Amino acid sequence: MARHRICVAAPQVPYSRGGAELHTDLLVDALKEEGHDVELVTLPYIWTSDESALEQCLAWRLVDISTEIAGIDLVIATKFPSYLIKHPNKVAWIFHQQREVYDLHATPFGLLSGSDGDRGLRQALVELDLQGLSENRALFANSRNTAARVERYCGWKARALYAPPKLREELHRGPYGDYLLYVGRLDRIKRIDLTIQAMAETKGSFPLKIVGKGPHLLELQRAVTELGLSKRVEFLGFVSDEEVVELYAGCFAVALTPHDEDYGFTTLEAFFAGKPVVTTDDAGGVLEWVQDGVTGTVSAPEPSRIAERLDELAADRDLCERMGTTGRTRVEAEVSWPLAIGALTATLD
């Protein structure tokens, strides 16, 4: 393979790291392993519901790395607004757009109101989105769910391209133990509160271990106390990669009940560890992998329904193993960095 100079463009919320930031780091590392010279180009981006959001977008528009002096062969832009960067050979791997402008608008998760000012800001951001997307030689999304949003709201078709999780090589199957696991950021939109409420309605007394931190932590801790679950729900905070691997290996199932998730690295991590995933029928990208009764369970986003499925798995370790094995077989066949890198760098041929 020829060696090329590639820039990966990604915005960064200061002091915040989530799935998108991890996704970017993994992409940079994978490109380097393929023998390319890679640089990460980043600018701070803090979503606000005022004109400063627009100004931050325009800052990306001022970044022009297309000169011959720079010698950059390819730019891979990621989440909005990084694909406003200027370069003639630019492709976008869309982790997600500015969701408050699109699918989260006028929902409890959105921040923009129906005021004249907010309507004008939303329209300006959409126009920038359309301009940036139109300049890419190829469009990819991190899931079919994200691709569907891009087509629905912007009229552009994007190909779903899946990134392997960071711990793909380390994750392994272990005993189907006595606890349920959640791994991820504790944001309201992740709806771990649904799983906690379901725990209060289960017939079994199995524990739930929660790995991660986030702005929803204190509210979740209060809910655990109010529901009388302090002895069954454990908040572990951030743990080492080695501990995460062993936690996946030892659980009987993984819970993931978000609202319309873009992708959900947790789903793939669970499958690579050979564990079934408990989710809901409105979980978005998670449903591209979780098939009810095949690789996990899918129910209505209601605590009582989720509780029924949790009890079903907790009582049948053979069922957990069959589902987890099916999930592992699928991701091993369909998710790899060579597949992703080959598509992203095709314009270099």
pLDDT digits (tens, 9 = 90+) for 122-176: 888 888 888 989 999 999 998 898 898 889 888 999 999 998 988 999 999 999 9
Model confidence at 28: pLDDT above 70? yes
- Is the domain of 143 the same as that of 194? no
| 177-230: pLDDT as tens digits | 999 999 999 999 999 999 999 999 999 999 999 999 999 999 999 999 999 999
- For the residues 34-41, what does the mean pLDDT come to? 94
Model pLDDT, residue 237: 95
Which of the four pLDDT bands, split at 50, 70 and 90, describes residue 103?
Answer: low
| Residue 299 placed within a domain | yes
Q: For residue 118, which phi and psi values (nearest 5 degrees)?
A: -70, -35
Average pLDDT taken over every residue of the chain:
91
Tell me the one-letter amino acid at 37: D
- For the residues 37-54, what does the mean pLDDT come to? 84
| Distance from C-alpha of 75 to C-alpha of 338, rounded to nearest angstrom | 18
- What global pTM score does this model have? 0.83
Which of the four pLDDT bands, split at 50, 70 and 90, describes residue 96?
Answer: confident
- Provide the number of structural domains found in the chain: 2
Handedness of CA 212, 307, 171, 294 (dihedral sign): negative
| Residue 173 placed within a domain | no
| Distance from C-alpha of 59 to C-alpha of 183, rounded to nearest angstrom | 34
| 111-120: pLDDT as tens digits | 667 676 677 8
| Angle, helix 19-33 to helix 337-344, in steps of 10 degrees | 80
| Residue 168 placed within a domain | no
- Is there a contact between 270 and 291 (Cβ–Cβ < 8 Å)? no
* Domain-ending residue, one of 130, 161, 192: 161
Residue 221: which domain range? 180-334
Q: Residue 49: give its domain's CATH number.
A: 3.40.50.2000
Which residue do the tokens 């873009």 mark? 262
Q: Which two tokens stand for residue 39?
A: 């640089």
Model confidence at 48: pLDDT above 80? no
- Is the domain of 55 the same as that of 138? yes
Model pLDDT, residue 70: 76
